[in-house]
Amino acid sequence: MSAPIKETAPAPAGRTVAKAPVRPGDRRGEGVVLNVFSHGFLALWALLIVLPLLWLVLSSFKTDAQIGGSALGWPENWTAGVFRRAWDKGIGDYFLNTVIVLVFSVPLTMLFGSMAAYVLARYRFWGNRLLYYFFVAGAMFPVFLALVPLFFMVKRLDMLNTYQGLILVYIAYSMPFTVFFMHAFFRTLPTAVFEAAVLDGASHTRTFFQVMLPMARPGLISVGIFNTLGQWNQFILPTVLMQPQSGDDPERYVLTQGLIQLQQQQGYASDLPVLFAGVTIAMIPMLVVYLSFQRQVQAGLTSATLK
């Protein structure tokens, strides 16, 4: 005969039934599985990014025969002559044009964007939120819809195929994201420092440049890196605005245009190592900039959350 089933009496009112404790091993096992999955995904993502870049750099040291024979093989002769050849074929001029534009466009974007974000974040006036949402809407507006009116506007100002025309367009193109990013950063800065500067008799300009702007340095570095990457890799705007209008106008192509021009000039006599070397030359400065300031970028992105 089976043993009778014992009925457990219900717990008295007002008393809680103690639950079985969770074993540490169970939590530890879940954490290990999650860590393995996340680290494996990050390792796969890193390989997908690093391997094409490595293949691109290695292909710059090969010949056309080596690339056609074994695209994944190692170069036989490690010479830098192909980079000199790519530089002489126009990459040097394209590189210089890009540097000239960014030397002016990135600092001016940071200056005007931080000033607008500071006013919208620290001062209350009628239309404050309307102006802020106007800048945010600009970040969501596709640039392709503005190419035709932008072309005629720049042409009316007689700034087609000029450095100043492209600089002004780059500033306007990068302003929405800069204002959006710096607005959130300025709101995290302590108000007591701002009030102390005002009580000491500092003007609004002095308070901004000598007190608030140095405190926003991590945010400035972060958004500056993003603007540099975005403007360095910009293609559609220079293609529309940096085209010679006549045979006498000089070619002021930037790097993104220059690489396409280099590919079109080859024709049937392909010189793939030169093209790969040109892409490598265009890629290296941005890698150096990001690797040099990666800690500042991470600090700027997380400081708003930590404060």
Q: What pLDDT score does 292 carry?
A: 80
CA distance 274 to 264: 13
Q: What pLDDT score does 1 carry?
A: 45
CA distance 185 to 305: 10
Q: What pLDDT score does 203 carry?
A: 85
CA distance 69 to 192: 67
Q: Digits of tens for pLDDT over the chain (307 positions)?
A: 444 444 455 555 555 555 555 555 555 666 677 787 788 888 898 888 888 888 888 888 887 777 777 767 788 777 778 888 888 888 889 999 999 999 999 999 999 999 999 999 988 889 889 999 999 888 888 888 889 999 999 999 999 999 999 999 999 999 999 999 899 888 888 888 888 888 888 888 888 888 888 888 888 888 998 899 999 999 999 999 998 877 666 788 999 988 888 877 766 667 788 888 888 999 888 888 878 877 766 666 665 445 4
Task: Decide if 286 contacts 228 (C-beta within 8 A).
Answer: yes
CA distance 84 to 155: 36
* CA atoms within a 13 Å half-sphere pointing along the CA-CB vector of 83: 14
Q: What pLDDT score does 5 carry?
A: 47
Q: What pLDDT score does 112 carry?
A: 95
Phi, psi of 157 (to 5 degrees): -85, 0
pTM across the whole model: 0.80
> CB-based burial of residue 16 (10 Å sphere; 0-12 exposed, 13-18 middle, 19+ buried)?
exposed
Q: Which domains does the chain have, with CATH numbers?
A: 83-306 (1.10.3720.10)
SS3 230: helix
Residues 6+ apart with CB under 8 A from 291: none
Residues 6+ apart with CB under 8 A from 195: none
